[in-house]
Amino acid sequence: MFEQNGSNKPVGVIGAGSFGLAMANMLARKNDVLLYARRPEAVEYIQSHETYKGKPLHQRIKAINNMQELAERCSVIFPIVPAANFRAMMKDLAPHLHPYHILIHGTKGLDICLPKGGRTKDMPPIDRSCIRTMSEVIREESVVVRIGCLAGPNLATELVQQQPAATVVASHFREVINEGIRLLRNERFQVYGSSDLIGVELCGVLKNIIAIAAGGLSGLGLGENARALLISRGMVEMIYLGRALGGNVQAFIGLAGVGDLVATCTSRLSRNFTVGYRLAQGETLDQILSTMEETAEGVQTVKIMTEIADNLNVRAPITQMLHKVLFENMKVEEALQYLMKYPFNTDVDFL
């Protein structure tokens, strides 16, 4: 039976995808965990098996399908669902939340705020006023004030295997950072803190773009020089875009920025890397997305950030070329040729 009082209350996790399961297992090393899964059949399976989606389940994890129960029993909740579903999830959860709750999300995507009827031809281009990070969605949809996010080189498969790793807990509230450290830090998992919530969220969002490009390079059979070039120029592009959206440089040169960027640009465990790799191998985007079990957030992010870059006059050639590859039928080889001819004259010009 779970204890209901004080620090012995269970910790909540929303989302039974790869990263949600990894975090549930990580949290269960110290706490009882209530894992919310949207589909009743998933809850039933988790309750009767020791693994789910090929990943082991800690014995202290209990699956449920009741948002009210989750909110009543857990004062700290980790929402980890795709960005496209995040606002709807918050609308379902919000009636059961109170100001005492702490929410620390692990979603690396953006929410677009458009009129109910969608976009029309006479609407102005998307700018910062049209997009929300997940912490901003939480603030808009609920009474929760103490909000944080997780970001860093956290490939779910390696976390489940308990390989050494680290993450950043970012929040405007030191109490949220300390709670994240208390719940998650162990001898195989380091936890750092940051007060730049928006900057750290944007790191997790923007690195997905560069990860798709990195997959494309590997799919073409190119080597480490090309990958290093992409990672370094990709970091510069992330900083330009991040600053335009309200982040600062510090976040991007830390674990959530360069750390996560290196991990996702060098690992075939990354969903976004996989998209780029398969594109370079000749598959179409529709073919790739229809056969992926989980969301590659970078695809939608490329679409959003290309329009942002154009509207705000931000230099983002990698993002813009990826848009042509993903949505305008440009070949990966052609995009690479363009980028190699792009007139970069200064190496570091953002400090």
Say which of 62, 108, 207, 303 is annotated catalytic: 207
Which conformational region is residue 311 in: left (phi greater than 0), alpha (psi within -120 to 50 degrees), or beta?
Answer: alpha
Distance (Å, whole) CA 189 – CA 165: 5
Structure-token pair, residue 45: 């399976």
Specify the residue for token string 């330009």: 240
CA angle 237, 82, 301 (to 5 degrees): 25
E-assigned strand segments in 229-322: none
121 is an active site residue = no
Contact (CB, 8 A) for 149 and 251: no
Give the integer Cα–Cα distance in Å for 202 and 136: 12
| In the chain, beta strands by DSSP E | 11-14, 33-36, 51-52, 55-56, 61-64, 76-79, 102-105, 111-112, 131-132, 146-151, 165-171, 189-194
Positions marked active-site: 207
